[in-house]
Structure 1
Amino acid sequence: MFGSPRPAWRNRAAPVVAVFAVLLLLLLCTAGAEGPAARIVPLVFAAGAAGTASWAVWRWRTDRAVYERQLTEWAATEAVLGERLRIAGDLHDLVSHGLGLITVRAAATRHLPQSAEIRAALGDIEEAGRTATGELRRMLTVLRRPSADGPRTPAEDLASLPEIVRAAERTGVRAQLQAALPGEVSSGVQLAVCRTVREGLANTARHAGPVRALVRVHRDGCHVVVNVADSGPADGWRPTPGAGHGLAGLRERIGSLGGTLTAGPVEGGFRLTARIPDGPPR
């Protein structure tokens, strides 16, 4: 799909190969020689080989530690964002219930003949309104509370996709974004698109490491289609799988919009695909 993956550490191996080549050339040139050179060059070669190998191991461990730290920080950010989304769901349930009661009581008030009953109904409406407003303010305070790293994340839309890709690149994933969506896209679908891209790139970072990933967002008739595909695990990469809640929550979100979510291996890598109905382009 993307050709042979080339993690960043491979580029740093070039100086190591060059050093070995020079030392090997010196060894070959002095093969069969007598005198000090015959004794010194093999020692230099052995010392250079040992030093170069030690440096390569140290550099690999350092790069791996940096990558894992970045991945952990990104996972923590994702957890905070997911919790805020759950709070938003609670907010919807609480406010919907309270405002629903207000609507029902207001409608019933029109059919009450006695003023005492009207006053009681209006009292119920006032109390329900105060309760719903209090719950709304309390939940919004939580949602607006700034995190340790900055202000809260606003609702994402298609304009957020480049930043989502850049965030994944900071963990080592070399992501390419291709987005073409003519016409208007509903806000709910835009948010679902962003969540799909974010989860797909997070899965690539966890399971494949610093490899290439292609993100494609386009229309297919009355559907918005999102594909996030990678080129397979980097050489020697040890996956760090999550609990699986991300895909489960994403599948629920896509399903609530009438769409489908599929995920699985393909062409040596892994692909996540979401198809979300959104009507014809407007």
Structure 2
Amino acid sequence: MTRRPPPLLTDGAVVAMALLDVWAHWDIDEPLRMACGLGAAVVLLLRRRQPVLTYLLTLPAVLLSDAVVACLAALYTLASLSRPRALLLLYVLAFAVSDTMSLPAPELDTTDTRKLIAFGYSAATAAAAVFLGQLVRTRRDLSLKLTEISEARDHQQLLTAQAVLAKERAQLAREMHDVVSHQVSLIAVRAGALQVGARDADTKDAAATIRRLSVQTLDELRHMVGVLRASGGHPTELTPQPALADIRRLADNCGIETRLRMELPEGLPATVQRAIYRTVQEALTNTRKHAPGATANIDLLHANGSVRVRITNTAPTQPPLPLPGAHHGLIGLRQRAELLGGTMTSGPTEDGGYEVCVVLPANLTG
């Protein structure tokens, strides 16, 4: 798209052309006419804000002198900003009459062929300025229409993409309901049967943990299915988000031996509390998967306006089970911490364990 020149530059060029027209018809013996021509050139600076007034103020220069560029420029601007064609025709006739007449002694003889030719020439000149202004206006309106059409097309493409996404989410919801939820339900049932039939206390405890976690996972899956199915419809009621008060229960029910030290102030933002909870949850999950038999230490401290979350586990006492995983847990924790303006580090410890440390700004709200 070609760039338009700045309005100030355009106005300066128009005024310069009008002044050049006055200079070409300069006559020192007719100061009134020359003053009208100069005044009309200066008045062009108002043509964008007051197009009708500018045209009326430049018309006397046509009537009293031969300087017509200023009035034609005003007429062009008026046509580019106005729609009523009847008024534009009236403006054209006014210009033609003023250009044909000669004050202070008007000479407009309808029987004089030369005067009629001059009138027609003046009317054609003014009509050309009007047609050019209308053409510019039509082009501007067309450009706006094209912009609206382009925006409407982009909006339609967005709606189409959202419809496709909603269809995919509905299909994913069906898959989760028909496959994943069914398998988790079987795990919960088998774990319950094992809990009832087992004689060993450790087996009963492990079966109870499996059953409890399976039921909790099943509830979360059902909620996720509801969220996916509600895509594009009414907002879905979200389950309560985890907070600091839920960390103690998380540590007690994680299936491994833990030690929790929590010294955090009141008034932490909900986003920070969720980040702390998810960090502890991910670290304990990794400990349970990759370091069977290990114990975990959870330290949640506040110092110097920051919250420090540190989870360490000892070396495993049993070989880890080959469980599937996408290996995105720690990456997600790092991204969550960075979004909140914090940092995350992780790595093995000297005693063969592992450490996850997240530092977040406290941003106390109360």
Q: TM-score, normalised by structure 1?
A: 0.48
Which one has the bigger strand percentage? 1
Q: RCO (CA 8 Å, sep 6+): is it higher in 1 or 2?
A: 1
- What TM-score do you get using the length of structure 2 for normalisation? 0.38
